[in-house]
Amino acid sequence: MSRSATGPQTIDSSDRRDEIVEAAGRLFSESGYHTTSMRDLARAVNLQGGSLYSHITSKDEVLFEIVSRAADEFLAAAASVPAELSPAFRLARLIQGHLRVMAREIRLATVFFQDWRYLSPERREIIALRRDEYEAHFRDTIEAGAEAGVFHVESPRLAAIFVLSALNWTYQWYDPNGSLSPDELASQYCRMLFGALGGPNQLKLEAGND
């Protein structure tokens, strides 16, 4: 978005900036946004505290960068699900995509869920809109499935919340380095979630592209 030219004086390889954001993702996800100081962050990238500010403009901006990237990943995964698929297959792919992103970017996701409320109001609003957009993918798919008679739910809105609860909570316990692969988890969660929605029982997920 804002690749504002920081001026000619600093070379500011966005390499360095990326390094800072990545370290921040790690530190914030481990210790929380407010308990990580800018000096902690500087130390993690071998800089003095003040030197951070030739690469970033504020702590809030760093948080936004992390949360934004997480939102990007989730939205891209949802957008990659072919609209021609049936609602049941679409939902299965949404679930699989969500859990793959969660496994690949668990630190971004953790900061997203834990600290996005501490963004400045303007930036928080931007994220709120994208989160709504993401949830709409699930709600619309469930609604379509309900109308087609493949899902049987009392309230598609509540059902969407229910599905997203299971998916979002994974950041609290899932270990990407553990023995449970994201696709294996997706398979088990699909089974349970389809049961919850009164949907079809044996969907085969092609182990395809993202």
Partner DNA sequence: CCTACCGATCGGTAGG
Site stretch for DNA (CB under 7 A), options 21-29, 47-55, 87-95, 168-176: 47-55
**The tokens 């071998």 sit on which residue?**
46
User: Smallest distance from the beta carbon of 33 to DNA, in angstroms?
Assistant: 8
Q: Kindly state the DSSP code that residue 209 receives in the 8-state scheme.
A: -
Sequence-distant (≥ 6) Cβ neighbours of residue 25 within 8 angstroms? 66, 107, 108, 111
* Residue 51 is a binding residue for DNA (CB under 7 A): yes
Q: Which of 26, 59, 98, 139 binds DNA (CB under 7 A)?
A: 59
* Residue 120 is a binding residue for its own copies (CB under 8 A): no
Q: Which of 37, 80, 155, 181 binds DNA (CB under 7 A)?
A: 37
Q: Kindly state the DSSP code that residue 51 receives in the 8-state scheme.
A: G
* Residue 102 is a binding residue for its own copies (CB under 8 A): no
Strands (E), the chain: none
Q: How far apart are CA 155 and CA 163, in angstroms?
A: 12
What is the CA 128 to chain-centroid distance, rounded? 13
CA distances from 16 to 19, 32, 46, 102 (A): 5, 22, 11, 25
Query: For residue 10, which phi and psi values (nearest 5 degrees)?
Result: -95, 135
User: Smallest distance from the beta carbon of 76 to its own copies, in angstroms?
Assistant: 23
Tokens of 3: 């690749």
* Residue 57 is a binding residue for DNA (CB under 7 A): yes
User: Smallest distance from the beta carbon of 60 to its own copies, in angstroms?
Assistant: 13
Q: Kindly state the DSSP code that residue 151 receives in the 8-state scheme.
A: -
**The tokens 């869920």 sit on which residue?**
113
Binding mask 140-179 for its own copies (x = CB under 8 A): -------------xxx--xx-xx-xxx-xxx--x------
User: Smallest distance from the beta carbon of 114 to its own copies, in angstroms?
Assistant: 8
Binding site for its own copies (CB under 8 A): 32, 34-35, 114, 117-118, 153-155, 158-159, 161-162, 164-166, 168-170, 173, 188-189, 191-193, 195-198
Binding site for DNA (CB under 7 A): 3, 6-7, 9-10, 16, 36-40, 46-51, 53-55, 57-60
